[in-house]
Amino acid sequence: MKTSEIRQRFLDFFAERGHLVQPSSSLLYNDPTLLFVNAGMVPMKPYFLGEEQPPARTLASVQKCVRTLDIEEVGKTTRHGTFFQMCGNFSFGEYFKSGAIQHAWDLITTAQDAGGLGFDPDTIWVTVLEGDDEAAGLWREIAGLPAERIQARGLLDNYWHMGVPGPGGPNSEIYVDRGPAYGPDGGPVVDEDRFLEIWNLVFMQYELSAVRAKDDFDVMRPLPKPQIDTGAGLERIAYLLQGVDNLYEIDEIYPVIGRAVELSGRQYGTDHDDDVRLRVVADHVRSALMLMADGVTPGNEARGYVLRRLLRRSVRAMRLLGVTDRVLPELLPVSRDLMGLSYPEVLQSWERISQAAYAEEDAFRRTLVAGTQLFEGAVRTARTEQRDTLAGEQVFQLHDTYGFPYDLTLEMAAEQGLQVDREGFAALMREQRDRAKADARAKKGAGQNLEAYSAVRADGETPFLGYTELLTETTVRAVVADGVSRPSAGEGETVELVLDRTPFYPESGGQDADGGEIIADGLRAEVVDVQRPVPGLITHRVRITFGEVAVGDTVRAQVDTTARMDSCRAHSATHVVHAALRQLLGPTAVQAGSYNRPGYLRFDFNATQALTPGLREEIEGVSNEAIRSDLEVTATEMPLQRAKDLGAMAMFGEKYGDVVRMVELGGPWSRELCGGTHVESSAQIGLLTLTAESSIGSGVRRVEAFVGADAFDHLARERALVAHLSDLLKVQPDQLTDRVERLVGQLRTVEKELAAVRGQQLLARGAEIAGAATDVAGTAFVGRTLEGVGGADLRTLATDVRGRLGERPGVVALAGVADGKVSLVVATTAAARERGLQAGTLVGVGAPVVGGRGGGKADIAQGGGTDVDAAPDALGAIERAVRAEAAGS
């Protein structure tokens, strides 16, 4: 049975039993505690916490998930995958333990020709929480399982919670016995390879007030309505039903291994190390594909770093399999064709995905070349210091700073007859992971103190009236200070107010929050921020400048109308820029983020190259043409699928309900899902002027612009600057460009003349520097630190000094110190190169000493760093390397 068929069979089974099928959410779920969706229940979290009402009392889904904590285990076990799909059924007070057990048993044991999965009932084992006699009894009653196939385990294995205060409860896990060929008998408590878990039924029946660890928490109270959350691993079910040994061999993954085998000439199943590498390739290629389909681009932080790591590990694994050519253009399309069957977004975004992935591989191939030079420098240092082990710090720097793979370092070190300080490297990696976990805990903790907001939200949401009203009479529902509800607040305090309705727009969708005032007789409070701490609830952070406010007070909420109109202009202009970019760059210019406030916008989009000046002018021109055309701006609520059918653009990672708000400018020219505030027609924007374009990460560009009066002010400042320069240079404005170009040309001529004079002065010192050469194991060695000399002059001097050494073996190493930086240049004579002394290798020894890197050819190489005081030490390291190599030759 194909994986896609199992997926559909699961959904059909629960749909027939009254469950509302939910589409998979994006992997980039809008949750500050998570990097990616890592469990099938994550999109259901607001329902379990009571922050939102579920669309039905029973739901079912197959959710895309990514887990990165086990990335190093990928390929080594049968069950660790980075990307996986979690099948789940959920009940919000409709059924509980007996219903969950009955559904699970029916699906897994019903014959395949009757719509089930067809597992042999005699192979099924289950675990329950110690003391949960009810669950054990239901398994005996419903499934007829004998007592010996129902095993009790402790909290670490059979209790589930989210890691933060909220719902939790015991769980029951379902296992399939794969037979004696896979391990010893005795059930899951003995061996979890032979007895493979396929489904976890969570009986959420308590509200937890504090969570310290998996098995250390405080129970506050029973939930008013017990809930069911289940998770079944689609890939695990697939490889059991498809009769293969591990998840890497199922129909959605193995074809990538097959293509990698063709490219490498290796055989799968004959060598353990090769098999691990082939599985890594298959897993990581698929995982990277799915992340990019949901909008992630390679980068150096957070989600982008995870993607970069997956892509680079794939390339590295293929390199270890002997393939040095580009591999992603061969492997990624295979995974695209497999995953596109269930996830159409993969096919729709293919052009953008492939561009980003292939550019990342090219960049990594360049890194491998540079990393090899740094590795060789580390080897030289180790040999000079007569060590047979590469220091953990050097290996970590190669891995973490320069992206050079650890496994490749191990292999290359072994080829050189060297060991690696694995313990030192591991310790540094642990420190890095601990820092990451601490950061994650900090983020998680930041979202914990929501009890006051959730209590208010339980009484109803906050209606937003701001699309049509800017002044509203309303009632204070709650006063919150530092996460704690209070009855009132007084003059001079800054607190949060929850109103029973509001015209204030809360910060969201890239739009800044409204400002304004909340007033009443005897009260004046300045609104400084507006947020949604929990879904459906709007809070107003206010500074009380006069009087007192109390729960139940009737007040007037007044939005700053001027700032609101400027925000509308900026937000509508953001849509205009997005449409202009897609018109000129094509569909790959997908939004990657945005921010707008009164008079200003910035827009991030996917692109592999910078915008040319001409293209920037075109974007600005198309945008202002759309503004002048006075395009009608409309906002319409409609079903999500209807908006998608109309081509409405959605933001990656945003959560959309069944009914969405689609904003149009000029009909089909710009259609986006958006909850922000907008002008009524594009002419109200007034004017747009682009002010900047830059890179904010690999494959992501940013444009910034002023709009409306701020655009006019910006142009007025530029006009004043032009007038000042024209007056200063005594030319007309239209002659300014020519005059500045002539001045620049004259300055360059003078700079060249000065450089020539400096060069002559330096060359005059060449004889003196060459004369100071010392003998180092039969090699003439020149090492000199020069103050105030930069890279280009240093290179010229090094070449001159080398020429003065004649035909004897000679190495020239110069360190120039200028502007707080160190430049290193190493030059070698032909006779020195015959003795194995390579300039590129030698500069690679010295550059890390000054906190940098370097490289070049065998005859001359250049590098540098920022540690000025270490320049003499760098020359000393180079001299020791010369001595070691010359002595060895």
Is the Cβ–Cβ distance between 668 and 649 less than 8 Å? Answer: no
What is the DSSP track for 5-38? HHHHHHHHHHHTTTPEEEPPPPSS-S-TT-SS--
Q: What percent of the chain has pLDDT over 90?
A: 58
Q: How far is CA 781 from CA 577, 829, 860, 884, in A?
A: 60, 11, 14, 13
Q: How far is CA 313 from CA 283, 290, 388, 399, in A?
A: 10, 16, 27, 12
How does pLDDT run across 556-613, given as a tens digit for each residue?
Answer: 999 999 999 999 999 999 999 999 999 999 888 888 889 999 999 999 998 878 899 9
- The secondary structure of residue 513, as a DSSP letter, is P
The residues spanned by each domain of the chain are: 3-244, 254-445, 451-559, 565-716, 765-888
565-716 topology per CATH: Threonyl-tRNA Synthetase; Chain A, domain 2 (3.30.980)
Judge residue 100's burial from the number of C-beta atoms within 10 Å of its C-beta, 0-12 exposed, 13-18 middle, 19 or more buried. Answer: buried
Residue 154: which residues within 8 A CB-CB, separation 6 or more? 129, 130, 215
Give the right CATH number for 765-888 from 3.10.310.40, 1.10.10.10, 3.10.20.30, 1.10.3720.10: 3.10.310.40
Query: Residue 653 has what pLDDT?
Result: 60
How does pLDDT run across 224-245, given as a tens digit for each residue?
Answer: 889 999 999 999 999 999 999 8
How does pLDDT run across 303-325, given as a tens digit for each residue?
Answer: 888 898 899 889 989 988 999 89
How does pLDDT run across 397-413, given as a tens digit for each residue?
Answer: 777 766 676 767 886 78
How does pLDDT run across 653-708, given as a tens digit for each residue?
Answer: 667 777 899 999 999 999 999 999 999 999 999 999 999 999 887 678 999 999 99
Mean pLDDT of the chain: 89
Beta strands in 34-75 (DSSP E): 58-66
Q: Is the pLDDT score of 86 beyond 80?
A: yes
Average pLDDT over residues 245-254: 92
Strand pairing partners for 344? none
Q: Is 65 among the annotated ligand-binding positions?
A: no
Q: Which amino acid is at 637?
A: E
What is the DSSP track for 92-160? ESS--HHHHHHHHHHHHHS-GGGTS----GGGEEEEEETT-HHHHHHIIIII---GGGEEEE-HHHHEE
Is the Cβ–Cβ distance between 690 and 704 less than 8 Å? Answer: yes
Judge residue 586's burial from the number of C-beta atoms within 10 Å of its C-beta, 0-12 exposed, 13-18 middle, 19 or more buried. Answer: exposed
Query: Residue 62 has what pLDDT?
Result: 96
Average pLDDT over residues 36-51: 85
- 522 torsion bin: left (phi>0), alpha (psi -120 to 50), beta (else): left
Average pLDDT over residues 73-91: 85
**Confidence grade of residue 169 (pLDDT, cut at 50, 70, 90):** very high
Q: Is 399 among the annotated ligand-binding positions?
A: no
Q: Is the pLDDT score of 447 beyond 60?
A: no
What dotted CATH number matches 3-244?
Answer: 3.30.930.10
Query: Residue 403 has what pLDDT?
Result: 67
Judge residue 386's burial from the number of C-beta atoms within 10 Å of its C-beta, 0-12 exposed, 13-18 middle, 19 or more buried. Answer: exposed
Q: Is the pLDDT score of 415 beyond 80?
A: no
CA distance 232 to 197: 9
Q: Is the pLDDT score of 99 beyond 80?
A: yes
CA distance 786 to 872: 10
Q: Is the pLDDT score of 70 beyond 70?
A: no
Q: Is the pLDDT score of 432 beyond 80?
A: no
Q: Is 578 among the annotated ligand-binding positions?
A: no
Q: Is the pLDDT score of 85 beyond 90?
A: yes
- Which of 861, 842, 865, 841 minimizes the C-alpha distance to 853? 865
Q: Is 161 among the annotated ligand-binding positions?
A: no
Q: Is the pLDDT score of 59 beyond 70?
A: yes
**Per CATH, the architecture of 451-559 is what?**
Beta Barrel (2.40)
Residue 729: which residues within 8 A CB-CB, separation 6 or more? 736, 739, 740, 743
Query: Residue 32 has what pLDDT?
Result: 66
